[in-house]
Amino acid sequence: MATIFYKWITIFFLVSTGPWSSYEKKEIFHPIFVSVTEIEHDAKEKNLEISCKLFTEDFENTLRKHYTGKVDLLDEKLKAPMGTMVNDYIQKHFNLKAEGKTIQLKFLGFEQQEEGIISYFQADNISTVKNLQVFNNLLYDYSDQQMGIIHATVNGNRKSTRLNNPDTNASFIF
């Protein structure tokens, strides 16, 4: 019985004092740097619905480079100022054109999902989409290996592409 107790104490000591014990202070390593953007045309509502998913840690580190003040996308008390930062950053690094005309994106908010942050946007008064141009350099200044996967759906027809840093432009024809 004492032997089991000492084993548990030893394991607890190793876990609590090992290099992994200060998890929140260390950067999380992951082998892929990717953003995923979904664009969907709702013909009935005449709008575009856009969502952008980014790894939380990467996004926070990027926001710290661009903005002053505390950055913590998971702190509910900071939801409003973080929303301002998220909107500003994404609007500067992602935009759309339909039929050659720039589309104004309205920020709806953001949420955490798994290890990512998903931000939501909407563009109103878009009755049809035949030609969609996308500019995306989200988190390109964070990692040379950053890529952006973009899915666009119009009338049930889904098309996808991948942009590898430094490529920033994609085009979809429906």
d(CA 55, CA 51): 13
* pLDDT tens for each residue of 131-158: 999 999 999 999 999 999 999 999 999 9
Counting residues of the chain whose pLDDT is more than 90, the rounded percentage is 82
d(CA 15, CA 50): 42
pTM passes above 0.85: no
Residue-level pLDDT at 30: 64
The residues facing 110 across adjacent strands are 119
Q: How many helices (H) and strands (E) does the chain have?
A: 3, 10
